[in-house]
Structure 1
Amino acid sequence: MALFTFSGGVHPADGKEFAKNSPITEYLPKGDVVLPLGQHIGAPAQPIVSKGDQVLVGQKVAEAGGFVSANIFSSVSGTVKAIEPRMTPAGAKVNSIVIENDGEFKEAAFEAKPYDQMSKDDVLAAIKEAGIVGLGGAGFPTHVKLAPKDPDAIEYIIVNGAECEPYITGDYRILMETPELLIEGLNIVLDMFPKAKGIIGIEDNKKDAIAKVEALVKGDARISVATLKTKYPQGAERSLIYATTGRSINSSMLPADAGCIVDNVATIVAIKEAVKDGKPLYERVVTVTGDAIKNPSNFKVRTGTNVQELIEAAGGFKTQPEKIISGGPMMGMAMFTTDVPAVKTFSCFLAFTKDEVAANQPSNCIRCGRCVSVCPQKLMPAKLSVLADHNQFDEFEKLYGAECVECGSCSFVCPAKRNLAQSMKTGRKQVLANRRKK
């Protein structure tokens, strides 16, 4: 059978074996929860509660601060303790709502209009009200993604079930345990775009998940499963669109420009829960894993839960880790503290006994060309990184540096151990900022 794939990419050890067989278990926070007002791309949410207010699970505590923004809901019942800057997993201090958890988890009333009585606008409003953002890591508000300029031009709704980032297994467990929720959510999105077909892309190292989903969509003319070649970054938006449809986009385009909308597995399930159950987004699946974790696990985690609590729930550390990461090892952010909240975009806590990257000493480029061969965008990372390091951003842009998807494949294969991805990321960020100014 031919597998769907793209040009370039790498094959890092996937580390899935640590947590892939760990069922999703619900974890209820014991301590205070911290809800940063910026858990998404776009404008921070604006608090609508004050210190001393009593709140319930699922109660809105902050409203979207603009069109590209998202509502935030309490994940516990208790008392608003403070609204103050707190550290996030990305290492930034963000204004946050701190809620003293009463441990009772009393819920606000969730209401949903019968689905068969909902218009497309009703569905979109429910998704927006629920505060859903991309749960694959980007955090782009989902209601914005589902409101393209030309809805009739959308031909494909692509579900990213690749989960190509090593170690993370949350989406895999959703596919194994509740695939029917995914199909229900996908059908909701397809009803919004009657001309579109659904494609669920799953890497071929998840054959059991592929079999489960294929059985559910058998005979469905609107939904198919694309078996993807196991390769990183197969789940990157551009790679996935090309692999499943043969269409290409660049940094000046949106997936909608190629007739596509892409959402990951967890996001699609959240859509189902918002539209049919009236449930806002206040929890997500988080993988706690790595060779330094005693019992690697997949937890359903309430937003705002302290990461240190999750580590303890997974048995704690076998030994003090040399490196801890928010997210996967390829695109995640190194952390310097575990005293941070699990936010909407927090998919994984990763702990390694050894920091292999810190042991690497970068040397001069040996012009081997490996970075070029693995780049999914066919760029020249070795040259672009030098331009970025020397603040030559105009030249960086002329050599298509803005097309970098920040996957880290170039750094992974570089025998000189150069920090290519970090330099590329800096250059790309500056170029995009300059474009916005113009």
Structure 2
Amino acid sequence: MTKFYELSTAERIDRLRVEGAIGEDGLRVLTGQAEALPAVVASNMVENHIGAFPVPLGLAEHFVIDGEALRVPMAVEEPSVIAAAGNAAARIARSGGFSTSVRREGVVAQIVVTDARDGDGVDGGGKEGADRSPLDRLTEYVRAHEGEIRRVARQAHPSLERHGGGLRGVEVRGHEDGFAELDLLIDTGEAMGANVVNTIAEAVSVHCISHIDGLDPLMSILSNESAGQRAQSVARIAFDDLKTRDMDGDRVARRIVKAARFAWVSPLRAATHNKGIMNGVNAAVLATGNDTRNINAAAYADLSDRKRTWTKWTIDEDRSQLVGVIDMPLPLGAVGGAMSTLPMARLSLALLGHPSAARLMGIVASVGLASNLSAMRALVTRGIQSGHMNLQFKSLVMSAGARPEELDQVVAGLRADPAHADLAMAKRLLQRLRAESK
């Protein structure tokens, strides 16, 4: 059977149809019989709508995650991201694939209050208790009335409990400068749940302020810091599956471990190391209609001077294997929002077998780990550019105005002189090809 990457786009779509991976609706979208983003949908998603901005959608092959073989949809404009993830996944699959674990505790909402007498809020009017700190007043009320707070939360979004979610915990925190906050831990079920969380937070805030003298409600909003929504993926790769023509697998593995360690000690390297991870993470997140800004905010908040990246690589000497682990916050949903609205997001989730939110977190973490492995293997062996150049040349030639049937010949000309390959050279080669064809 012809390999998936060797097929044309139309042939790939037909293979997915034959395999039963896509239904009629997905087929219509992929073949252009139905709009990937109808104007009536888009105009109700954003303000001042004028059109759509398509991003290529591809499938990263060879993923085996918790024993299940998958092609992972990835939406990305950068060449090589999909191929690199699939290449690493194939090496990992030969040693058993990815093993994942997920912690999905909920989303935190912050209700922030200050003293109403600080010049911005409404004066407490000298009512009883108004001379105490916001933290003391908030703490006392929550201790005495937690049941009321839970009732208000339920009433703010009654359907959440029917979907397995709801308020799971409350906590009061104090800060310098007189700030106090009431944190609500909310299980959002299968949704990412931003709107649900904010609705509940605002309702609880109104209730608390109406019962506590002298507090000014500064804001009520979810936190994108997502320590309670983490995914871990572990991968093993046999040394023999890491070798190149010029370097044995044992040496490649040890160089990867060194490269990974360097990201922990060098902030300059850590930024690029993490960008390579997010190449895969963001592409998979975007394909499923999840909020990439939410994921980026959570991932960034997880880092510090003591933790500069989300991956670690070690050597298992007994098994002659490289072992990689990724552990990062991935506050994803599987229903609601753009996931339910965008036809391409629905298609991507269908291609993944309609995963639960927890399952999707494990999948995306595995894509991030695969992207990290592929980038480091390239860096410590042949260098990063050689794997990128062919698709970069194709992009350059298309920018020069080449037709599909002219692409390969002009790319070959650029590849013959890569040091001088630029748009001007691509145009000259294209002009020469057309002159010779007359």
Normalising by the smaller structure, the TM-score range is under 0.3
Considering fraction of residues, name the structure with more helix.
Answer: 2
